Structure formats: C-alpha cells, structure tokens
C-alpha cells in the first residue's frame, strides 16, 4: 500500500466515523424520549448498537476505499456517488428520528439507504467481492434496523407529518 492509498483509507474511515461522531449527541439528547418508546420483539440491548456501529463504520470506510481504488470509469463514479449518498442518508436518519422525532421521514430515509447499499453491492460485486461482502454485512444490519424503525413507528404512533 502506497502512502497515498493509506491516506485515502484514513480519509474514508474519517468520513464514516465522522458521521457517527456528529450524530452521537443527537442520540444522547433524545435518550429520555426514546426510553419511553415501546420496543418491538427482538429489540437488542442498547450496548449492541454501539458495538455494531463501531464495526460497521469501519466496514463502510474500507468498502468506500476499495471502490475508490478501482480503475477510473463510469461504474467507479457511480459507486463513489452511491457511497457518498449512503453516508448522507446514514447521517440524516439520526436527526430525523432522534432530534426531530420524524419517524416517517426516518423510515423513508433508512429505506433509501438500504436501496443505495443494495445498488452498491450489485455494482461492486463483479469488481471487488471483499467490498461487496462488507456492504452485505452493512446491508443486513440496515435491513434489520429498517424493520426496527417500522416497528417502532407502528408501536409508537406520533404526529410527525
């Protein structure tokens, strides 16, 4: 790995983990509101979220970096756009859900994120199976998180539209 490659890997990891760092205070701020919400069956203990997301942000950063390292062409450009849009949607979900309690908007956001993940996997799988599998792991969690979002919304109807 060249120093330039290493610098780009660090950049992708910083962007991924930066998303979490910027959004974390919003989750903390909403702790009391969220504690009162009815939870669906299969809702994990709170510590699971921190552990899983710590791992996932690393996987997301590495997958983005692997996409960046592909030869420059239209597919690489699409992959980097999908990765970037996914990071924006990943970030936006937190304020929509926790800060503004807009659970419907959060559902639309997380489902859009799931769509970008699936599209990313489809495009990158023939080019880099490691990056594809990193996103398959991420996508599996987001599918589960989407179900949690929908279940929480259904169990705790609020006026948010």
Domain ranges of the chain: 3-30+43-155
Each residue's pLDDT, cut to its tens digit, for the chain (161 residues) gives: 899 999 999 999 999 999 999 988 877 778 889 999 999 999 999 899 999 999 999 999 999 999 999 999 999 999 999 999 999 999 999 999 999 999 999 999 999 999 999 999 999 999 999 999 999 999 999 999 999 999 999 999 875 54
How far are the Cα atoms of 29, 78, 142, 161 from residue 72, in angstroms, in the given order?
A: 42, 11, 29, 42
SS3 state of residue 54: helix
Closest CA to 119 of 67, 72, 48, 62: 67
pTM: 0.93
Kindly give, in sequence order, each residue whose CB lies less than 8 Å from that of residue 8, ignoring residues fewer than 6 positions away: 65, 68, 69
Instruction: Tell me how far apart the alpha carbons of residues 62 and 74 are, in angstroms, rounded to a whole number.
Output: 20
Kindly give, in sequence order, each residue whose CB lies less than 8 Å from that of residue 63, ignoring residues fewer than 6 positions away: 83, 120, 124, 131, 134, 135, 138
């Amino acid at each position: 790995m060249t120093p330039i490659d290493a610098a780009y890997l660090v950049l992708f990891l910083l962007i991924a983990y930066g998303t979490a760092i910027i959004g974390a205070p919003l989750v903390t701020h909403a702790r009391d509101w969220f504690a009162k919400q009815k939870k669906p069956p299969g809702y994990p203990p709170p510590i699971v979220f921190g552990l899983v997301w710590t791992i996932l942000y690393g996987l997301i950063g590495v997958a983005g970096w692997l996409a960046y390292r592909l030869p420059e062409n239209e597919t690489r450009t699409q992959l980097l756009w999908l990765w970037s849009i996914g990071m924006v949607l990943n970030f936006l979900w937190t304020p929509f859900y926790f800060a503004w309690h807009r659970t419907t908007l959060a559902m639309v956001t997380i489902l859009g994120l799931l769509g970008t993940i699936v599209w990313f996997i489809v495009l990158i799988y023939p080019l880099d199976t490691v990056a594809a599998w990193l996103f398959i792991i991420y996508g599996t969690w987001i599918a589960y998180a989407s179900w949690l979002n929908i279940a929480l919304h259904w169990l705790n109807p609020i006026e948010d539209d």
